[in-house]
Structure 1
């Protein structure tokens, strides 16, 4: 892809709908050889030490592909921010893969944050109903675990409707059914806030109309965790082979 010479980061979880860092442009697409699973624990954003939430990671599977959003990073604050958010607090490390745009015209290397069973927050596989129940019961400084799951599923439905993700969408169906069954307030679970993500064509670049720009009413919750983004340095210090 002409012009794809910068550093690109692939988001497949909350980065899809709430990147939280400055970027030049983004586009939707997929990486191959990975499957998305809610196997990583989280006690800093979507849960607590006593009751960790479950968030997405990727597992190696040659038969699967994972849909998400690639960002071209700009500025000096993005990588330190991501290192803190994903590596130091989240337990993820970085690897490199190839991103393929939705239109099939572009492919280029991307950095991916992945968690494995070698980190202390790892929860691993469990029956899907048990995972859904844990998501339903977990909440952390950044909001409820239900919000994390449903906003990710909504992003896929809205911007990548052809995406097939049995694990994600099964969890979505179970959790939505439980919320209705228990007569819970979905608006409260979603943080009483909205993230409006608008598709917009970047006419000044080679990227196609897969480009995405955020237009968000992203007012932090009163107890929202604030990440430090102004940290010197731009290297991926949590990079592992």
Structure 2
């Protein structure tokens, strides 16, 4: 779980910008468990697959902008502290491995020359209910670097900034009926926002997690894909999944070319 200010002795500054207290050299590490996996932040010089511990990933965050509207919110992912999640009634609980608390994704290193700019960019991108937290990130496998000089030992956990839709945020699905997998799937199947179809978000996440490799499967995501495929019908779902796979490959190949006019969430 992410350390609290009481545990670390670090008190957040009045303006809410805590990152320099965790990254005194001025550079920044950001962990992505949703759209950041396939739509990286700009100016990163390393992309590192791996995981954080003590959380579960769930499509329990409403989206009133990128994948839905205020009148018809879509569904996007957040991560929930496992201790709190275990107090909730979740039909997908049997799909969570009992031996691990891992949520897989990708971490990005932002050099100090662009750290403040990228923080601003992410604050805009994650504006719909997400807030900044910090947690250890565990690298796994090889890194992808935009610069040959951007290399360091990644054996130890890395402190990462992560945007989380806390259960207290207004977009969190408090009604258990809205967290039922079939209800989530049906909302996703008809959702549409400024960044496109909600189904696209689901399929992009599915393909991005597959691309991370060993250990990155997510039973919650996989089950929702199965349900949405059944709602959409085989031909349409297959076409969208194939497009998502191409888009993930293209996005990761292009690297850090994102700009604020093209936001995914």
TM-score by length of 1: 0.74
User: Which has more helix, going by share of residues?
Assistant: 2
Query: After TM superposition, which residue ranges in structure 1, 4 or more long, deviate above 3 angstroms?
Result: 183-194, 216-220
From 143, 155, 173, the equivalent of 1:123 is 173
Within a 5 Å distance, the mapping from 1:203-218 to structure 2 comes to 214-216=252-254
Within 2, Cα distance between the matches of 1:65 and 1:188?
28
Correspondent of 2:73 among 29, 35, 52: 52
Q: 2:134 aligns with which of 84, 93, 96?
A: 96
- Aligned residue in 2 for 1:112: 162
The answer for the alignment partner of 1:84 in structure 2 is 124
1:41 match: 62
Change over 3 Å in CA distance of 1:188–1:73 after alignment to 2: same
- Contact 2:33–2:105 under 8 Å retained in 1: yes
Cα gap change, 1:227 to 1:119, in 2 (>3 Å): farther
Decide whether the 8 Å contact of 2:40 with 2:255 is kept in 1. Answer: no
Against the structure 1 CA distance between its residues 191 and 84, is the aligned structure 2 distance closer, same or farther, given a 3 Å change threshold? Answer: farther
Unaligned runs of 5+ in 2: 1-24, 84-99, 142-153
Output aligned runs, 1:212-227, within 5 Å.
214-216=252-254, 226=261
2:216 — aligned with what?
163
Give the root-mean-square deviation of aligned CA atoms. Answer: 3.1
- Secondary structure in structure 1 of the residue aligned to 2:236: coil
Q: What is the rounded CA distance, in whole Å, between the counterparts of 2:68 and 2:120 in structure 1?
A: 23
Corresponding residue of 2:18? none
Instruction: Give the total of aligned pairs.
Output: 204
8 Å CA contact 1:147–1:190 kept in 2: the answer is: no
Flag structure 1 segments of 5+ consecutive residues without an equivalent.
199-212, 229-241
Q: Note closer, same or farther for the CA distance 1:166–1:196 as it changes in structure 2 (3 Å cut).
A: closer
Question: Displacement, 1:188?
Answer: 6.3
Cα deviation 1:51-70 (Å, max 9, x = unaligned): 10100001011552100000
When the two structures are superposed, what TM-score results if normalisation uses the length of structure 2? 0.68
Rounded to whole Å, the distance in 2 between the matches of 1:185 and 1:169 is: 13
**Greater strand proportion:** 1
Residue 201 of structure 1 corresponds to: none
